[in-house]
Structure 1
């Protein structure tokens, strides 16, 4: 799948811490429980809606998902062994999705443990993280044909990464919103096994403070396309757009080599971004 045309004229987690879709994703319906929200409009006209949970459920061990899991907009939070909300390595997730699984209509509260893990292609539809712990979601498939789709939803309060792209394939983030975050998407910079990764961020709202929208490894052939990204509260343009790194397999800190548009590695122009 390619990025939408413009009109023409893990990184391994470190302790220190939204119109491009895959085929058929435009037909996804935000079905399930009714979404109760408080909605405001930004000056750019983009809706900012965060849900009110319909109930809550403590999760003491990872919920394994194959097929489709509809949470009915209930809030799930870690308890017991999943009661951590720090930046420690090796935490278990609240949800673990098998290849091809769909998780929809879920609010992940706090503690969030390690959020969601996708073992292969997956769809996260209308999933909301109220307080990101170590990471909101990690994508771990090993096939170059894997596609990870994030459609709708949002995340707040991520000290570091929101989406951790450790595996192979393509990640498409559409109609998502993020605020108070480190990096929205980070391609693993120092995993012991590296892959070429494709990232598409389209029709997304980004609200400061934040560090970067996307981070990719230029030396492994990663590409990132940004389209219709609305950035709020960052008049000084402090949030980096697309950061290029030299990744490694040794576990060392990856080296930042540049930021901004750069051919196919970071594919966007100023017209793809709006600020208010």
Structure 2
């Protein structure tokens, strides 16, 4: 879906729906979403099921995750930003690469997190540049023991730029990732 010349504000009714049924946008492989403001009360903001591009997509009040990268390929997040997330803004569950360029985050736990305990966990990579983050925690969290890679430049952040974790595979039983130093 594209809104090439205007900004659209989208809101949804409060919902207890989980997974894709509570998601405002589900983007198929190759999709582009731009110039959208996703209002409060969404369960999940955007799912990318493959390679996707988000340009100038804003989230007023994040419930679960603003953006969930579910598939492989490359996800480009250019401009835009998010407010009020108790935990992650961008959750990377699929294998592949994420570029985060000129993003803004305010009041968050982590801007980007590679899934720490996904079933069939895999190697992922992320590049972040020109991101401004205030009133929050980690800019990026990656699973160094699984071979995740992070590159970054010209970011402004209050605490940790890149936190390493020991990720695990819940397909092998219940598990939680542990911190493993800076990356």
Normalized against structure 2, the TM-score is what?
0.92
Q: In the alignment, which residue of structure 1 is the partner of 2:24?
A: 94
CA distance in structure 2 between the partners assigned to 1:130 and 1:245 by the alignment:
29
Q: Which among 185, 197, 216 is matched to residue 112 of structure 2? A: 185
Per-residue Cα deviation, 1:193-234 (whole angstroms, up to 9, x for no partner): 211101101011111x21100000011110111200023xx4
- Aligned pairs, number: 178
Q: Which among 249, 256, 267 is matched to residue 169 of structure 2? A: 249
Give the deviation of 1:112 after TM superposition.
2.0
Q: In the alignment, which residue of structure 2 is the partner of 1:69?
A: 2
CA distance in structure 2 between the partners assigned to 1:137 and 1:70 by the alignment:
18
User: After TM superposition, what 4+ stretches of structure 1 lie above 2 angstroms from structure 2?
Assistant: 88-92
The DSSP-based 3-state class of the residue aligned with 2:145 is helix
CA distance in structure 2 between the partners assigned to 1:191 and 1:176 by the alignment:
25
Aligned residue runs from structure 1 range 215-226, under 5 A? 215-226=141-152
Give the deviation of 1:252 after TM superposition.
1.4
- The question of 1:194 aligning with 2:117 is answered no
Aligned residue runs from structure 1 range 202-241, under 5 A? 202-207=129-134, 209-231=135-157, 234=158, 239-241=159-161
**Unpaired segments of 5 or more residues in structure 2?**
none
Between Structure 1 and Structure 2, which shows a larger proportion of strand residues? 2
Aligned residue runs from structure 1 range 1-276, under 5 A? 68-70=1-3, 72-79=6-13, 83-84=14-15, 90=19, 92-142=22-72, 146-207=73-134, 209-231=135-157, 234=158, 239-250=159-170, 251-259=174-182, 266=183
The DSSP-based 3-state class of the residue aligned with 1:219 is helix
CA distance in structure 2 between the partners assigned to 1:155 and 1:138 by the alignment:
13
CA distance in structure 2 between the partners assigned to 1:189 and 1:89 by the alignment:
20
Give the deviation of 1:69 after TM superposition.
2.2
CA contact under 8 A between 2:18 and 2:43: conserved in structure 1?
A: no
How big is the alpha-carbon RMSD for the aligned residues of Structure 1 and Structure 2? Answer: 1.6
Give the deviation of 1:90 after TM superposition.
3.5
Give the deviation of 1:89 after TM superposition.
5.9
Normalized against structure 1, the TM-score is what?
0.62
